[in-house]
């Protein structure tokens, strides 16, 4: 039996799932949330039985990992007798900078590099590093694989990833477009190829990952050639609490008006987007509810959301030189039919002219991480 454990750490959460490979059967999965708060919360699901939920107190990610391991070994809630049964662990790492272009087995040197990239992803890389460090200690001898959210976009050509800023800023600080949600974009693009029953090599696809964070990617021949998120996840289409593209002079203007850097950071990451425009919520379900009650602010938030997505899709059809499939995924992309229809209605001309299929594909980042980690482990075994 080959078990691959997948760990996906956020700033105050750890998502985990255990896959039997190569079948990609998920035997259990769960989410430990609100780590470091007064009460943490775990939802754990063993396939074939009801969910186990519990309020508990978990001070940090390291303690969280310990607790998750105890569940994997639990007689009723787990499936393992010994942690040594795990063949490898796949870790989601958000930022792999310019160095990590594919998944890799983590060693000291690589871990140091991932730590260095914390400056580019201050909310994500640090908790992921904590989880990796805990695993290196508790699971000695079991390979730890990093799968990067930026890696799928490492194929972006230079003219697509450079900003029109002095070149020295790129050389000195690595200021360029990196792109995110790569694990999801790659997963749904590959699935689109399977559904169209055509080799990915021949296809032009636009993938729209519309969740709390939103990004759009142009995929040509299976490779990302452009993507809407940039140096950070702030760029691109409008999102739940982030504005997407806007004139950067607004930041200078606000600074001159006396706003602090921290306040602007908070404003751009937590208070803008759907929430900021609607004044209702960052959750599209709430916006749609208010929209049906003719709430004008909810209406305008929704209009801006749809319009900006349409602009990106239009631009990407242009650079792809055609379109075979337009893919929607993640919370909004998969569940909000009304919004998908609005987006597509406005693009009717393009969709007709290209003959593109519109697909809704459920994204499963955990499964993709398990698949990529397993492929790497199998290759390593062969080369031994
Ligand atoms: P995250 O990016 O945090 O993983 P999701 O992919 O779950 O988030 O996306 C969250 C967004 O998706 C929210 O705006 C929410 O309203 C929307 N969403 C999630 N599930 C549904 C659903 N069943 N029906 C309609 N909208 C949904």
Coil, strand, or helix at residue 363?
A: coil
Q: Whose CA is nearest to atom 23 of ligand 1?
A: 335
Closest CA to 215 of 329, 113, 48, 87: 329
- Dist CA 46 CA 216 (whole Å): 33
CA of 329 to the centre of ligand 1 (A): 10
Q: Whose CA is nearest to atom 22 of ligand 1?
A: 335
CA of 330 to the centre of ligand 1 (A): 7
pLDDT in tens, 68-122: 999 999 999 999 999 999 999 999 999 999 999 999 999 999 999 999 999 888 8
Per-residue pLDDT, 254: 98
Name the β-bridge partners of 94. none
pLDDT surpasses 80 at 381: no
Q: CATH fold of 2-148, please?
A: Nucleotidyltransferase; domain 5 (3.30.420)
pLDDT surpasses 90 at 380: no
List every span in the chain annotated with CATH 3.30.420.40.
2-148, 199-360
Name, in order, each residue with C-beta under 8 angstroms of 344's C-beta and a sequence gap of 6 or more: 326, 351, 358
**Domain 199-360 architecture:** 2-Layer Sandwich (3.30)
Mean pLDDT of 126-134: 96
Average model confidence (pLDDT) across the chain: 96
pLDDT in tens, 162-207: 999 999 999 999 999 999 999 999 999 999 999 999 999 999 999 9
Q: Among residues 149, 226, 324, 364, which one is catalytic?
A: 149
Helix or strand holding residue 209 (H, E)? strand 204-210
pLDDT in tens, 16-27: 999 999 999 999
Judge if the beta carbon of residue 336 lies within 6 A of ligand 1.
yes
Judge if the beta carbon of residue 332 lies within 6 A of ligand 1.
yes
Q: Compute φ and ψ for 345, nearest 5 degrees.
A: -60, -45
Judge if the beta carbon of residue 213 lies within 6 A of ligand 1.
yes
| Catalytic residue list contains 149 | yes
pLDDT in tens, 334-376: 999 999 999 999 999 999 999 999 999 999 999 999 999 999 9
CA of 356 to the centre of ligand 1 (A): 25
Judge if the beta carbon of residue 283 lies within 6 A of ligand 1.
yes
Mean pLDDT of 317-343: 98
Ligand 1 pocket: which of 238, 284, 309 to mutate (most atoms within 8 A of CB): 284
pLDDT surpasses 90 at 30: yes
CA of 211 to the centre of ligand 1 (A): 5
Report pTM: 0.93
pLDDT surpasses 80 at 129: yes
Q: What is the DSSP string of 232-285?
A: STTSSS--SS---S--THHHHHHHHTT--HHHHHHHHHHSSHHHHHHSS-S-HH
Mean pLDDT of 312-334: 98
pLDDT category of residue 383 using cuts at 50, 70 and 90: confident
Per-residue pLDDT, 384: 67
Per-residue pLDDT, 122: 84
Do the Cβ atoms of 126 and 95 come closer than 8 Å? Answer: no
Q: Whose CA is nearest to atom 4 of ligand 1?
A: 211
Q: What is the DSSP string of 61-100?
A: HHHHHHHHHHHHH-TTT---S-GGGEEEEEEEES--TTT-
pLDDT category of residue 123 using cuts at 50, 70 and 90: confident
Judge if the beta carbon of residue 13 lies within 6 A of ligand 1.
no
Per-residue pLDDT, 382: 77
Query: Per residue in 11-36, is it b (16+ CB within 10 Å) or e — as a string?
Result: ebbbbbbbbebeeeebbbbbbbbbbe
């Amino acid at each position: 039996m080959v078990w691959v454990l997948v760990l996906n750490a956020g700033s105050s959460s750890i998502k985990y799932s255990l896959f039997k490979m190569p079948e990609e059967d998920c035997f259990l999965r769960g989410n430990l949330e609100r780590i470091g708060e007064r009460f943490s919360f775990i939802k754990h699901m063993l396939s074939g039985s009801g969910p186990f939920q519990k309020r508990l107190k978990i001070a940090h990610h390291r303690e969280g990992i310990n607790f998750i391991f105890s569940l994997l070994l639990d007689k009723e809630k787990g499936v393992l007798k010994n942690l040594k049964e795990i063949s490898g662990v796949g870790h989601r790492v958000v930022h792999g900078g310019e160095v990590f272009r594919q998944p890799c087995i983590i060693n000291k040197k690589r871990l140091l590099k991932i730590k260095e990239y914390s400056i580019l992803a201050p909310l994500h890389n640090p908790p992921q590093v904590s989880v990796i460090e805990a695993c290196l200690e508790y699971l000695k001898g079991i390979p730890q694989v990093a799968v990067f959210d930026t890696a799928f976009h490492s194929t972006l050509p230079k003219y697509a990833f450079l900003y029109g800023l002095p070149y020295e800023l790129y050389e000195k600080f690595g200021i360029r477009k990196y792109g995110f949600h790569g694990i999801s974009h790659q997963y749904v693009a590959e699935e689109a190829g399977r559904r169209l029953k055509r080799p990915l090599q021949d296809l032009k696809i636009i993938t729209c990952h519309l969740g709390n964070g939103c990004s759009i990617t142009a995929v040509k021949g299976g490779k990302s050639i452009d993507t809407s998120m940039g140096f950070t996840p702030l760029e691109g289409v409008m999102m739940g609490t982030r504005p997407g593209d806007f004139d950067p002079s607004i930041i200078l203007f606000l600074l001159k008006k006396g706003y602090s850097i921290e306040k602007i950071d908070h404003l751009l990451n937590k208070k803008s987007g759907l929430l900021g425009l609607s004044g209702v919520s960052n959750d599209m379900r709430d916006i749609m509810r208010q929209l049906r009650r003719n709430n004008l602010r909810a209406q305008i938030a929704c209009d801006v959301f749809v319009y900006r997505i349409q602009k990106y899709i239009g631009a990407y059809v242009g650079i792809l030189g055609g379109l075979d499939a337009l893919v929607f995924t993640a919370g909004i992309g998969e569940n909000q039919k009304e919004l998908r229809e609005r987006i597509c209605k406005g693009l009717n001309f393009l969709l007709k002219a290209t003959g593109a299929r519109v697909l809704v594909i459920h994204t499963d980042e955990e499964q993709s991480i398990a698949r990529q980690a397993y492929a790497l482990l199998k290759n390593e075994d062969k080369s031994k």
